[in-house]
């Protein structure tokens, strides 16, 4: 059983416009299988008994969210999305002030990772335990890594290299402080990098390929294959 002294809260930034998808609208609303991508993502958290509440951060003028994610218990829409993912997370955390505790865990998850499952959420929470910093799902690099700069190609040692996924889980106050301390947003590519900039080291918890980020059109078919055969744990 998991200690319930601190709650687990999901925060999904979903104010993006999906520029790389060549779609007619925001990619989080593209249909995958039988429902929009964002709905798959939200449903994973709703299916987890460990998650106390899920918050979705969208643009103030988002016209689709209420039909894609109908009003339901343990889900709240925050219309405070920013011009970047980091700004949306910052704004969402500001909105949560007063309704979550400083030591509650915040699981920030990309709306465009619809393959998340309750089993992966449980794995992240269980393996993190009471870790002093926090954690994120990630995959160890197994392919040979090449780097090309100005036409020159080098092979990079893959030892110790991981591909970051989400959720990325940190206590509310730590995450709020870390993102608030960012002076150059270009240096922060995910929530964990903001925490690392404080000199802290999060725990890497091995995730699963099903939790891929849908970024380009070809990713849609791969995501649909995983959605048809979801990860239930091993």
Give residue-wise pLDDT tens across range 14-64.
Answer: 997 655 444 556 889 999 998 999 999 999 999 999 999 999 999 999 999
3-state SS, residue 118: helix
Give residue-wise pLDDT tens across range 188-229.
Answer: 999 999 999 999 999 999 999 999 999 998 999 999 999 998
Bridge-based pairing of strands 203-206 and 105-108 is unpaired
pTM beyond 0.75: the answer is yes
Which pLDDT does position 185 carry in this prediction? 85
List, in order, residues 6 or more apart from 65 with CB less than 8 Å away.
Answer: 14, 38, 56, 58, 77
List, in order, residues 6 or more apart from 220 with CB less than 8 Å away.
Answer: 30, 32, 214
Give residue-wise pLDDT tens across range 164-180.
Answer: 999 999 999 999 999 99
- Residues 14, 109: Cα–Cα separation, whole Å: 9
Domains of the chain: 8-228 (3.90.550.10)
Above 80 in pLDDT, residue 109?
Answer: yes
What's the order of all strands across the beta sheet hosting 105-108? 75-78, 53-57, 8-13, 105-108, 162-171, 134-140, 203-206
């Amino acid at each position: 059983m998991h200690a319930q002294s601190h709650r687990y809260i999901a925060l999904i930034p979903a104010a993006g416009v999906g520029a790389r998808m060549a779609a007619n609208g925001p990619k989080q609303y593209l249909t995958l299988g039988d429902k929009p991508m964002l709905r798959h993502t939200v449903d994973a958290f709703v299916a987890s008994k460990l998650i106390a509440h899920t918050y979705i951060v969208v643009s103030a003028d988002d016209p689709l969210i209420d039909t894609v994610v109908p009003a339901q218990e343990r889900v709240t829409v925050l219309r405070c999305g920013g011009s970047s993912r980091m700004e949306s997370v910052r704004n969402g955390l500001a909105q949560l002030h007063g309704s979550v505790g400083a030591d509650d865990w915040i699981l920030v998850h990309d709306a465009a990772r619809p393959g998340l499952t309750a089993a992966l959420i449980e794995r992240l929470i269980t393996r993190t335990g009471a870790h002093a910093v926090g954690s994120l799902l990630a995959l160890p690099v197994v392919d040979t890594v090449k780097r090309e700069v100005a036409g020159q190609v080098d092979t990079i040692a893959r030892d110790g290299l991981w591909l970051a996924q989400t959720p990325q889980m940190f206590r509310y106050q730590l995450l709020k402080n870390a993102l608030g301390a960012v002076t150059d947003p270009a240096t922060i590519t995910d929530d964990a990098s903001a925490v690392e900039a404080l000199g802290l080291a999060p725990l890497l918890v091995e995730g699963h390929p099903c939790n891929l980020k849908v970024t380009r059109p070809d990713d849609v078919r791969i995501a649909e294959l995983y959605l048809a055969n979801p990860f239930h744990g091993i």
